[in-house]
Structure formats: C-alpha cells, structure tokens
Structure 1
Amino acid sequence: MRHFFLFVTIILSITTSAQKKEISQARSDIKSRSNLEQAETSMRNLLKDSVNRQNIKIYETLANAVSAQYEVANEKLYLKEGYDTVAFFNTAHKMFIAYESLDSIDALPDKKGRIKPKYRKKNAEYLDKYRRNLYNGGLFFINKKNYESAYKLMDSYLDCAQQPLFEVNKYINDDQLASSAAFWTVVSGYKLNRPDSALKYHELALSNRNYRRRALQYLSDIYLIKGDTAKYIETLNLGFKENKKSKFFFLRLMDYYNGKNQLDKAMAIVDTALISDKDNVLFLFAKSNILLNMGSYQECVTVCDTILKKNNSFPDVYYNAGVSYLNLAIDLEKTTISKRKNRTQIIDYYKKSLPYMEKYREMCPNEKDKWAPSLYNIYLKLNMGRQFDEMNSILQNIHGKK
C-alpha cells in the first residue's frame, strides 16, 4: 500500500509539473502575442480534465489568450489591415464567455464561506469597452442572414445584464441598445424555427417603439408555430389594436374568425377597422364576405356596390354581389307558399345577379367551379336557352374531368 501511495504521488507530481509547464508556455505566448490559438487550445484541453475544473490559473490564462486574439484582430481592423470579420466577432463572443467562466470560479466561496472576487472589477471594466461589438456582430450576422451566429452574439450581449461579472455596470437599468438586441433575438429565433429561443427576450423586444409592430408580427407567427392559439390570437388582437391599418394583423384575424365561423368577432374587427379608414376597399371587401356568410344578402350587395364605385377591378366583389342576389332568389323560392305570387321578385333577383356573375366570369375565366353553377341556375330561370346550353356543357366537362 505504501508503494501504491508513493506511485500516485509521483504521478500527481509529474501531472502537476506538466500542467504548470503548459500554463507557463501559454502565458509566454500571450505576452509575446504568438501562438495565441495554441495557447487557447492548450488551456481548453486542461479544462477537459475534471481535476482542473476549479483551477483559476487555467481560466485566467484561457481568458487572456482569447482577449489577446481579440486585441490583435481589433488592431488589424482599426488599421484597415486584412482580417476575417466573421472570426473577429466570433472571437469577441468567445472572449466574453471565457471571462464569465473565469468570474464564476473567481466568485466561489473560500473555506470560510466568503465570496471575494479578485478579478471582477478589473475584468468588468476591460470588457465594458468591447461589449458593443457583440451587438455590432449580431447586426453583421443578421445582414449576412447567419441567424445562428446573430442569435448567439445578441444573446451574449443581453446576458451580460444577468451576469454577476457586470453588476457594477448596471446594464439592466441603463442600456439603450438592449431592446433592439432583444428584437433581433426574436427575428433570429424565428428564422431558426426555435420558438423558445425567440421568446427568451420578447417582453424586452416589445418595449422598443420602433420595432414593436414588427415584433408583434413575428411573435404571432411564433405562437402559431408553437401551437399556442390563445397567445396567437391575443398577439394579433394587440397588434391590430395598435395598428388598425395594418393588413398583417387584420387579414390573419379575418382568416381565423371566419375559419372558426365566429362571424360576430370578425365583424367587430371589420367595423373597428372601418372607423379608422371608412373608404378602405380591403376592409369593405372583408365586410361583404362576412355579410354574405351571415346571410345578410341585401347588405352585402350594398357594400359591394360601394366598393365598385371606388374600384371596379375587384373580381370577387362582383362574385359576392352576384351570389347574394342569387341566394335572395333561392331563399324566396324556398319560403314562398305560392311561387307565382312572388315570381316577379324572384325573377328580378336572378336578373340582378346576372351582370355581376357574368362580369366575374369575364374577369376570372378559369374559375369555372365558381361561376358555372351560378350562371347555370340564372340562365335556366331566365329562360336563356343558348347560354344555358353552354353552361350545361361546361358543367358536364367539369364533372367529367372530376
């Protein structure tokens, strides 16, 4: 047993000596600004051994090796010498992570439970000068559509506010770029299809007045990806409330409420939108759709005619009006005890439907499934033999193909 302990002692002595040699070599390289990447790799390899996980000298040397790389790159960029911009920003990120790791070891309690960081104040002051480059790097990667790196740098920029290392800097209370950085994490998280990442700083992103509308747009889609329908609709309603003329929020609310047959809610949105812009053709068209679905056919026609006075090149408006008159005729046929008594009114509805439906056909010749059945009924009721035969032939071809 005595020989075993002696063997272990010898092995530990050799290991410690080799470790000290690696640290010494790395520090020498850092001082001479040579082999900096090798110095970094050497320290990272030492940290892979669990025995070294709390050796503050290794963490300090690693942080210094990375910061030396950053300073060399920064100087080259300042002097407009050739340097890889991507590598520069990635090195900035590595530097902050390295110093934060150092600080976590530096802040471990001593044997008496006291926490007295030795390096924190000096390192916080040093890093504060370069923190802006995390944000700049995030923007650089956004422009390159490298959303993975963009998120990484923006996240690191914002995370500084949570790090004990930077407590003295008070980033939480005094950072004009934080809400912008938060917005870009929303964008990057969305582009990466990582909803939880996108939502990490979403409240901060919404505090930015310049980006708030766009943030709400991204967030609504993010909740849709997550399958959180309640938050999706809540976000759309908030976006619509603040941006009543925005097509984005309006159209998605229309799609949802109409799809769920919640026509009263859809109409409430439309009426609110029209208060802000009573002549908006899109809003009026949406109202005509809701009225048609509600069975308020005469009101639908009135709205359609209002639209056509403003814009007569909107084919679906002709269709809505034509279908409304057609449905008025059909409903009257179904509910009238004596069809002969109201035949004049019924025929009048078919006659009124005709020009709208024919105009729709003219504008959308390929939409046969929509106009052919309607015109078939109209021509039949109005005893328009030649036109009826044409529609009958078209419908036979449609059904034959199906």
Structure 2
Amino acid sequence: MIFLIPFSYAQKKEISQAQEFIKSRKSLDKAEESMRKLLKDSVNRSNIKIYLTLAEAVRAQYEQGNEKLYLKEKYDTAALFITAHKMFEAYESLDSVDARPNEKGVVKIKYRKRNAEYLNTCRNNLYNGGMYFALNKKYDTAYRLMDTFIDCVRQPLFSGCGYREDAPLNKAAAYFTLYCGYKMQDPAKALKYETLALQYDKRHEFALRFVAEVYNMKKDTANYVAMLTRGFNEYKDSPYFFTRLMDYYNGVNKLDSAFVTVESALAHNPGNELFLFAKSNVLLNTGDYEGCIAVCDSLIARNDTLADAYYDAGVAYINMAFNLEKTVRASKATRTKLLSYYRKALPYMERYRALAPEQKDKWMAALYNIYLNLNMGAQFEEIDRMIRNS
C-alpha cells in the first residue's frame, strides 16, 4: 500500500494534466506522449481512462489540423493523414478495453456508439491519405492507411455502421494494398486482400498483373500460370499476359499448350503481328518448318522490318537442311536439295543480320553454316574471323 498510493497518485496526476492540455488545446503532443508512456507499463493496460485520454488527445490534434487546412493556414497535409490513422488506432484500442467484461462477467460498452459515429465521418481520410502516400511513393505508409480503412469492416467498434467488405471504396483500397505490397516486394501484404482487389473493375487488368507478378516473386508457379491464363482469357489483346504465358510454355516445353494459346489468340485477332510471330515460333519449335516459313512470309509481307520473322524462317530452312543430312543417304539429288535449303535460308539470315546487328550470337553461327555449305569463301572468312575474335 505504501508503494501503490504514490504510484496511483502520480498516474492520476498525469491523466489530469493531459486532460487539461486537451481542454485548452495546448501541448496536445505532450498529452499523447504521457498517455503512451503510461501504457508501456502492463499495470496500466486495463485503465480505460488512459485509453480515453489518449484517444481524445489524438482527436484534438486531428481536429486542429483539419481546421487549419479548412482555413487555408499553413499545415502539413501528410501530418493530418498520419494523425487520422493514429486516431483510428487509439479509438480501436479504447473500444477493445471498453468491451471487456467487468468483475461480474458483464459487458457494458459505454463509448462505442458515439466514437463510431464520429470516426465514420473521418474514415474517408484514411483512404485519401493512402492515395496521397501511394502517389508520393511512400508505399509502407500508404499500405497502413488503406489496411486500416478496410479493417474497419471487421472491427467491433464499427459493427453498427453497416460497413460491407465489398463496398466500392473497399475494393479500391484493396487494389492499392496490392499495389503497395508489390512495390515493397512483400508478397504477404500484397496478397492480403487479393480477392477483394480483383473485384476492383477500374483497375482489374492491372490487379491481375500485380497478382501474377507477386506469385512469380514467391516462385509459386502454379498460381502464377493460373493468373496469366485468367488474364489472357479476359484480356486477349494485352501483350503482358500472352507473352509471359507463351514464354512459360515454351520454357518448359509444353508446346501443345503454347499452340492452343496462340490459336485462341489468333481466333480473337487473326491479324495481330505478335500472335502470328508467336505461332511461327511454336511451329519452329515443334518441327513444322514449312508452316513456320509460311507464317513468317505472311508477316514479312505485312511488315518487312520484323527482324525475328526473318530469323525464324532462316532457322527453319537450316533445320530442314540438318534433318536432310541426318535422315537421307548422301547422293547428288540429296546434295542439290540440301544446298537449295541453304540458298533459301541465305537472304533471310542476311536480312536478319542487317536488321539486328547486335544479335551476333544468333546470326553468326547461322551464317557460318550457310556460307560454308554454299562455298562462299569471302563471306565465310569474314564470319570465321568474327567467331574467333568474339
């Protein structure tokens, strides 16, 4: 008792002083600081007066800042949003203590209704603050505000406000948590509201992209491919989903799946150059060289500067020559046909070299074989020197 009496007196004095600061609207930061200091001691964590005083101190700061902005006085907008976030946290902590059962096991909630009504008028500033910080690339702060905005739905404090998780602004906030989590390279945060974020129609395509990128970041291949597939099915004209899906299928040698995907794309848009080139590439990889050349020729007829179309056609002819060497016994007729493939490959590969001079690793080896087999001495010597010096 001797020790507790002075301690209790000091505690009451601090609360009383803080309340005086709040009434006078002066030294509000000191009032907040003193209450937070008291709450660091576990003995004080059941004292509702401390939580109430803390919440009121932060609320007074918020109202002061709001008033200054309204009157167009000098004030930091970012500070207002940060204070709004602190205010919600303070009132949610107060509510959790207010909702505890008393010594008889009875719950008598005293402050919830009035606090919820007040905070309901301020809640959109959490969203506005999240947008503000996201635009200023303060992704961690933006995430916290948007997270708190959405979390109001499950907070008992707001149980009487009729908040719905699928409300339009919640979907928008969920999208921004996805975006900020992605920017922070934090998959857990990015995917916290994945389902809700994907319901945000205004940024649905981008939401699918970010979710795909996050799964790729996690090395979760199954979900990455599933998200790319969903994105491709919903946005066939988007190069993002198509190219990554094709890269995946080609990379793991799922050429049947790659072919199905490219045919689906071409059924949607038969004249798309990206889709046509992807088809030529799949045909090349599956060994349908004549089909590949036909597609490449159709592409070149549309646009004679498509370097990769020349490359695929040239490689197709070279591969036809290689296959002939492997499967048919040497004869004059065979040799004539073999040389005809190299002659046909020549203009394609030389044109590819002219269009993509930096891609030496691709055209040097191809031209080496062409010049060697066609006995083109000067050209062969040039390529041979290049290879030896590379």
**TM-score under structure 2 normalisation?**
0.97
8 Å Cα contact 2:266-2:275 kept in structure 1? yes
Q: Counterpart of 1:328?
A: 320
Q: Counterpart of 2:345?
A: 353
8 Å Cα contact 2:262-2:275 kept in structure 1? yes
The amino acid of 2:312's aligned partner reads N
Give deviations 1:30-57, integer Å, cap 9, x for gaps.
Answer: 1111110100111111111111101001
Matched, 1:52 2:44: yes
Which consecutive residues of structure 1, in runs of 5 or more, have no partner in the other structure? 1-8
Shift of 1:339: 2.8
Give the Cα–Cα distance (whole angstroms) in 2 for the partners of residues 210 and 390 of structure 1.
56
Aligned length: 390
Q: Counterpart of 1:3?
A: none
Matched, 1:218 2:210: yes
What SS class does the counterpart of residue 177 from structure 1 fall into? helix
Give deviations 1:356-375, integer Å, cap 9, x for gaps.
Answer: 01111222223333222222
What SS class does the counterpart of residue 10 from structure 1 fall into? coil
Matched, 1:19 2:8: no
Q: Which moved more, 1:92-101 or 1:104-113?
A: 104-113
Which consecutive residues of structure 2, in runs of 5 or more, have no partner in the other structure? none
- Match among 180, 189, 213 for residue 181 of structure 2: 189
Q: Which moved more, 1:271-280 or 1:138-147?
A: 271-280
Matched, 1:166 2:158: yes
Give the Cα–Cα distance (whole angstroms) in 1 for the partners of residues 126 and 388 of structure 2.
67
Give the Cα–Cα distance (whole angstroms) in 1 for the partners of residues 102 and 162 of structure 2.
26
8 Å Cα contact 1:333-1:339 kept in structure 2? no
8 Å Cα contact 1:244-1:276 kept in structure 2? yes
- Match among 227, 244, 267 for residue 275 of structure 1: 267
Change (3 A) 1:20 1:139: same
- Match among 132, 135, 141 for residue 127 of structure 2: 135
8 Å Cα contact 1:186-1:219 kept in structure 2? yes
What are the residue-to-residue correspondences of 1:101-180 with 2, within 5 Å?
101-172=93-164, 175-180=167-172
Matched, 1:235 2:203: no
Change (3 A) 1:194 1:366: closer
8 Å Cα contact 2:55-2:87 kept in structure 1? yes
Shift of 1:395: 2.8
- Match among 78, 85, 98 for residue 86 of structure 1: 78
Give the Cα–Cα distance (whole angstroms) in 2 for the partners of residues 376 and 49 of structure 1.
79
8 Å Cα contact 2:146-2:176 kept in structure 1? yes
Q: Counterpart of 1:373?
A: 365
Give the Cα–Cα distance (whole angstroms) in 2 for the partners of residues 358 and 142 of structure 1.
49
Shift of 1:72: 0.4
The amino acid of 1:292's aligned partner reads L
Give the Cα–Cα distance (whole angstroms) in 1 for the partners of residues 184 and 148 of structure 2.
17
Identity %: 55
The amino acid of 1:197's aligned partner reads K
Q: Counterpart of 2:64?
A: 72
Shift of 1:259: 0.9
Matched, 1:43 2:35: yes
8 Å Cα contact 2:187-2:217 kept in structure 1? yes
8 Å Cα contact 2:178-2:197 kept in structure 1? yes
The amino acid of 1:336's aligned partner reads V
Give the Cα–Cα distance (whole angstroms) in 2 for the partners of residues 139 and 394 of structure 1.
55
Q: Counterpart of 1:391?
A: 383
Give the Cα–Cα distance (whole angstroms) in 1 for the partners of residues 206 and 22 of structure 2.
45
Change (3 A) 1:393 1:21: closer
The amino acid of 1:321's aligned partner reads A
Q: Counterpart of 1:287?
A: 279
What SS class does the counterpart of residue 78 from structure 2 fall into? helix
**Runs of 4+ displaced beyond 4 Å:** none
Give the Cα–Cα distance (whole angstroms) in 1 for the partners of residues 42 and 388 of structure 2.
79
Give me the CA root mean square deviation: 1.3
**TM-score under structure 1 normalisation?**
0.94
Give the Cα–Cα distance (whole angstroms) in 2 for the partners of residues 396 and 12 of structure 1.
89
8 Å Cα contact 2:236-2:242 kept in structure 1? yes
Shift of 1:270: 1.0
The amino acid of 1:119's aligned partner reads Y
Shift of 1:173: 5.5
- Match among 288, 295, 299 for residue 303 of structure 1: 295
Give the Cα–Cα distance (whole angstroms) in 2 for the partners of residues 14 and 388 of structure 1.
98
What SS class does the counterpart of residue 60 from structure 1 fall into? helix
